[in-house]
Amino acid sequence: MSSTNMVRKIKYNESNPQVISLQEYVIFTKEESNDKYIVFKFNNSVNQKLVSFTFLVKEFDSNKNLLEEITLTTKDEMFDENATFIPKAKLLANKCCAYIEVELKKASFERSIWENGEFIDIRHPIEEFDSISKKIEDDQAAADQKDIEKIKKNEKLRKAKLEQQEKNNAKEEKKLAGKNINVEDITNTNKPTGSMITSIIMTALCVIAIVVFSMYAKINNLISDITIDDITYQVNTNDCYITKYTGNGVNVVVPDTIDGKPVTQVQSNAFSYSLIQNITFPASVISIGNNAFDSAFLLSKVEFKGINITINAEAFKNCIKLKEIVAGDNLSKIGIFGTDCFYGCESLESFKWNGTINVTGNFFYNCKNLKEIRLPNGTLNKYTLSGCVTLEKVYCSKINNTLYMYQLFGSSLSSVPASFSQIYISTGTYPTYTGLNLNIAAF
């Protein structure tokens, strides 16, 4: 039997988490050989099973000197979607290794391949995964068969014990039949105690409560879940929420109602890391939750048909291919947009929203291709345009006049891009813009 010593468990802080990220790793030494090994714990943040992935491991000594670089690829394993996992294989490390750095190179999922920071092939042939899937299914079938055999064996033992007990009871009855015993005495020995009666009453009350609640829930149509076209809905008394999307469709159209109840909300992370490209919301949808589409890397168009929409923090964060947001001209109201709402939407070229909007935080951070913003009923605040390096024009209702104009972009005049030359303001005053070559006009 092998034994280990010098076991170290290290939490890994990844500066830029990827679709497959290292959570922690364990370094240990085998006592008999003095070999050092590393075991990894990863997380799959994609709504697809992970078939294999390749990652680079850099080993360092205690003085931060690079010892080795090793590229590893997992084989013959499949890992669940949105789950933490530990690969079976362990790495034989350099004996001087004190810590490591890991870099994801490629990841193959059921319906896509991730490489160089993006999903490059959403039509990845699923036939490549059949052998692994079949192996996993066969292993599961074998395990199920073992469980069935174990159950049969236990059932056989149980029957044998019952038969033996019946034989013993029959012997006891014969002995009692030959003796002069008061039947009342025998009956008294089997009378239930106070604790037994209490237990029986409590059990009966629990059963009654469960039955009554089930009937009440059915009659009053309380919360339940239903999945239609790969979208899971939480069906409430008066409306429905979208809680999760598990499909691989390109175009998604959300229905107005489910079971006659309006679909009103998209909850947090419902479409995060999904592969959809276009989505249309009906007029009934009034709220988009935090991170609802976070890192939906292929999403390019979002259409809203309602007049009252609230979009919460980081709702479309890192939707790097998002180019078009369509909202009707009849928008009359919008709750405060959450901070970092379109953070990292680097393909967005223009943004128009007629509803009332108070833009806060790093709302358009790193929207580096955004050239025009039209917010006729919108207010701009500190850092809301940070990272908009090609912005040319802004139309808005007003700007927070407690700021300097450059603070829309950052902490200094150098934060303002050279392309930025025109602001159109419909009401109110505007901040000082000394040092900027800027034309301000009414509209």
What is the SS3 assignment for the chain?
CCCEEEEEEEECCCCCCCCEEEEEEEEEEECCCCCEEEEEEEEECCCCCEEEEEEEEEEECCCCCEEEEEEEECCCCCECCCEEECCCCCEEECCCCCEEEEEEEEEEECCCEEECCEEEECCCCHHHHHHHHHHHHHHHHHHHHHHHHHHHHHHHHHHHHHHHHHHHHHHHHHHHHCCCCCHHHHHHHCCCCHHHHHHHHHHHHHHHHHHHHHHHHHHHCCCEEEEECCEEEEECCCCEEEEEECCCCCEEECCCEECCEEEEEECCCCCCCCCCCEEEECCCCCEECCCCCCCCCCCCEEEECCCEEEECCCCCCCCCCCCEEEECCCCCEECCCCCCCCCCCCCCCEEECCCCEEECCCCCCCCCCCCEEEEEEEEECCCCCCCCCCCCEEEEEEECCCCEHHHHCCCCHHHCCCCCCEEEECCCCCCECCCCCCEEEEC
Write 437-440 long-range contacts (CB < 8 A, 24+): 438/405
Q: Per DSSP, what are the bridge partners of residue 241?
A: 234, 265
Left, alpha or beta for 232 (phi > 0: left; psi -120 to 50: alpha)?
beta
Backbone angles phi, psi at 206, to 5 degrees: -60, -45
Left, alpha or beta for 326 (phi > 0: left; psi -120 to 50: alpha)?
beta
Q: What is the dihedral of CA 234, 240, 246, 249, to 10 degrees?
A: 170
Instruction: Write the CA distances from 51 to 87, 140, 368, integer angstroms.
Output: 12, 17, 34
Cα distance between residue 111 and residue 133, in whole Å:
13
Give residue 89's pLDDT: 80
Cα distance between residue 25 and residue 42, in whole Å:
9
Cα distance between residue 348 and residue 368, in whole Å:
8
What radius of gyration, in Å, describes the C-alpha atoms of the chain? 32
Give residue 1's pLDDT: 45
Give residue 188's pLDDT: 46
Backbone angles phi, psi at 326, to 5 degrees: -105, 120
For CA atoms 163, 165, 168, 170, the dihedral sign is negative
Backbone angles phi, psi at 90, to 5 degrees: -120, 155
Give residue 348's pLDDT: 94
Q: Do the beta carbons of residue 346 and residue 325 sit within 8 Å?
A: no
pTM of structure? 0.54
Cβ contacts of 151 within 8 Å, gap of 6 or more: none
Give residue 232's pLDDT: 94
Q: Do the beta carbons of residue 231 and residue 245 sit within 8 Å?
A: yes
Cα distance between residue 382 and residue 361, in whole Å:
7
- Taking only the tens of pLDDT, the chain with its 443 residues reads 445 556 787 888 766 667 899 989 988 888 777 889 899 999 998 888 899 999 999 999 989 899 999 999 988 888 988 888 999 888 999 989 999 999 999 998 888 888 887 776 554 444 444 555 566 567 666 766 776 676 667 667 767 777 777 777 777 767 666 655 443 443 444 455 565 666 677 777 766 766 555 555 444 545 688 999 999 999 999 999 999 999 888 899 999 999 899 999 999 999 998 989 999 999 999 899 999 999 898 999 999 988 788 888 899 999 999 999 988 666 655 555 778 899 999 999 999 888 788 888 788 998 999 999 998 888 888 999 999 999 999 999 889 888 889 999 998 888 999 999 999 998 767 888 877 888 888 87
For residue 124, the tally of other CB atoms under 10 A from its CB is: 18
Give residue 254's pLDDT: 95
Compute the C-alpha angle 226/230/235, nearest 5°.
20
Both tokens of residue 80?
């669940």
Give residue 169's pLDDT: 72
Q: Do the beta carbons of residue 271 and residue 245 sit within 8 Å?
A: yes
Question: For strand 99-109 and strand 113-115, is the pairing parallel, antiparallel, or unpaired?
Answer: antiparallel
Instruction: Write the CA distances from 257 to 274, 279, 298, 303, integer angstroms.
Output: 23, 16, 26, 17
